[in-house]
Amino acid sequence: MKYYSTADHSNRVALKTAVLEGMPADGGLYIPEKLPKLPDNFFNALPDMDFQTLSFEVANILIGEDVPEAILRNIIAEALSFETPLVDIEDNIKTLELFHGPTLAFKDVGARFMSRLMAYFIQNDDRKLNILVATSGDTGSAVANGFYKIPGINVIVLYPAGKISLIQEKQIATLGENVTALKVNGTFDDCQRLVKAALVDADLQKSQMLSSANSINISRLIPQTFYYFNAFRQLPDFQSKKIAVCVPSGNFGNLTAGLMAKKMGLPVHRFIAATNINHIVPDYLETGIFSPKVSIQTISNAMDVGNPSNFARILDLYGTSWTDIRREIWGVYFSDDQTRAAIADIYENSGYILDPHGAVGYLGLKKYLAQHQELDSGIFFETAHPAKFKDIVEPVIGASVDIPERLAKFLQRETLSQTISGKYGEFKAFLLTNPNFR
């Protein structure tokens, strides 16, 4: 199957190009040219499938022509080696826990799948593939861990000194092996500027193979469709029920994957886009006007996005029709105070500990269900483990949050990062002189 650019539908490329290039040169985003419907017998058999089996079936219909079956099965077995359980919160409200991967956030799913797919595509190339990532925290840790020890690929993660949490720094900078952590004396924007300059630098392109791994890569969205099916599999009689899915959103990759799953036949009655006060998309749903803004910092900081990068994909999937998009997605947003109150309430009522992102998702679902009695039930995504946001959650619930073993072990390791200035010349020299990068 081919992938086209949202900016120019005649710009069509193979999966390999879409994945290794990341973003088309015309400034659009890649989208699969078709989203084939899965057959009835797939949905009938879904309740009896396990996560990996159903993931293979979904992947096969999308990329089966491009990746041999045995390779695809292996990529799925390695990348999705953890569960996404559906957990009861209240009557008719369940959460899909997406934090059982190595860095405790849903981004593990996309990063682990992307790394293995890239490794397959470059296996016959005798050069190393160097992945550059600028991060304000979460993406860098998921990508660093997703690519850790993947043959033929290096990851170079740039993060702003003093501006990410200790846990995030430890998840990025203690791995070693093929993961290089660069602590930049500057801001996140400086990190991003260095990466962008390197990706278009002709000297560098001559001597090494460079790519990026940000959330716009289509190979991150493909595996994110799988867990929507895995959620419905765990709901009795899902084929005859009206079920809403609420996605706490920032760049809207997660929600876009859900829209793709629905186009492939998953019976999601309605999507709810829940955000913090960075409510660019809820405003668009309300008014029809998309008006990007400078982002505002909140306690659900992985959703502090003022210009959601996947919006172009959402528009494209619905032929840019505001009416059709509104029919599919309901938008809502909440303040930090409302988010804290939800964390406290849920803890008091059920003992369940939400992280701030999941709390926004819970609030969105609750509000939608209150206004739509015709729905049978709803699911919201818990996108990160509350231990990642201990500093915010503990004072709110008045109790301590246990740190899972896989997170605790990062905290004991030695930080291996190297410090660089924000000067491009220094970064370029670093890339050019390292023999491992060739």
Ligand X SMILES: *Cc1c(COP(=O)(O)O)cnc(C)c1O
Q: Give contact residues for ligand X (rule: CB under 6 A).
A: 105, 107, 138, 215, 248-254, 302-303, 357, 383-384
* Angle subtended at Cα 64 by Cα 60 and Cα 70, rounded to the nearest 5 degrees: 90
**273 SS3 class:** strand
Can you spell out the DSSP letters for 373-414? Answer: TT--EEEEEE-B-GGGGHHHHHHHHTSPPPPPHHHHHHHTSP
Minimum distance from CB of 130 to ligand X (Å)? 24
- Whether 244 and 271 have beta carbons less than 8 Å apart is answered as yes
How far apart are the C-alpha atoms of 171 and 168, rounded to whole Å? 5
In this complex, which beta carbon is closest to ligand X, that of residue 276 or of residue 417? Answer: 276
* H helical segments located in 2-90: 15-21, 40-45, 51-63, 69-79
In this complex, which beta carbon is closest to ligand X, that of residue 138 or of residue 316? Answer: 138
Minimum distance from CB of 312 to ligand X (Å)? 14
Minimum distance from CB of 152 to ligand X (Å)? 27
In this structure, the chain runs to a length of 438
In this complex, which beta carbon is closest to ligand X, that of residue 174 or of residue 251? Answer: 251
Minimum distance from CB of 281 to ligand X (Å)? 9
How far apart are the C-alpha atoms of 129 and 136, rounded to whole Å? 23
Q: What is the CA radius of gyration of the chain?
A: 21
Can you spell out the DSSP letters for 311-364? Answer: HHHHHHHTTT-HHHHHHHEEEEE--HHHHHHHHHHHHHHH-----HHHHHHHHH
In this complex, which beta carbon is closest to ligand X, that of residue 140 or of residue 253? Answer: 253
In this complex, which beta carbon is closest to ligand X, that of residue 219 or of residue 251? Answer: 251
Minimum distance from CB of 164 to ligand X (Å)? 13
Minimum distance from CB of 248 to ligand X (Å)? 5
User: What letter does residue 105 receive in the DSSP assignment?
Assistant: B
**β partners of residue 154:** 130
Counting Cα atoms < 13 Å in the Cβ hemisphere of 250 gives: 21
Phi and psi dihedrals of 215, rounded to 5? -70, -5
How far apart are the C-alpha atoms of 313 and 325, rounded to whole Å? 11
What the block records as the tokens of 49 is 């499938």
Among residues 107, 128, 183, 390, the one annotated as catalytic is 107
User: What letter does residue 36 receive in the DSSP assignment?
Assistant: P
Counting Cα atoms < 13 Å in the Cβ hemisphere of 14 gives: 7
What the block records as the tokens of 101 is 């991967």
Minimum distance from CB of 39 to ligand X (Å)? 28
In this complex, which beta carbon is closest to ligand X, that of residue 384 or of residue 431? Answer: 384
Minimum distance from CB of 48 to ligand X (Å)? 30
In this complex, which beta carbon is closest to ligand X, that of residue 192 or of residue 208? Answer: 192
Residues in CB range of 216: below 8 A, 6 or more apart: 22, 23, 29, 253, 309, 310
In this complex, which beta carbon is closest to ligand X, that of residue 313 or of residue 357? Answer: 357
**Annotated catalytic, 2?**
no
CB atoms within 10 A of CB 41: 8
How far apart are the C-alpha atoms of 106 and 90, rounded to whole Å? 22
Q: Which residues are catalytic?
A: 107
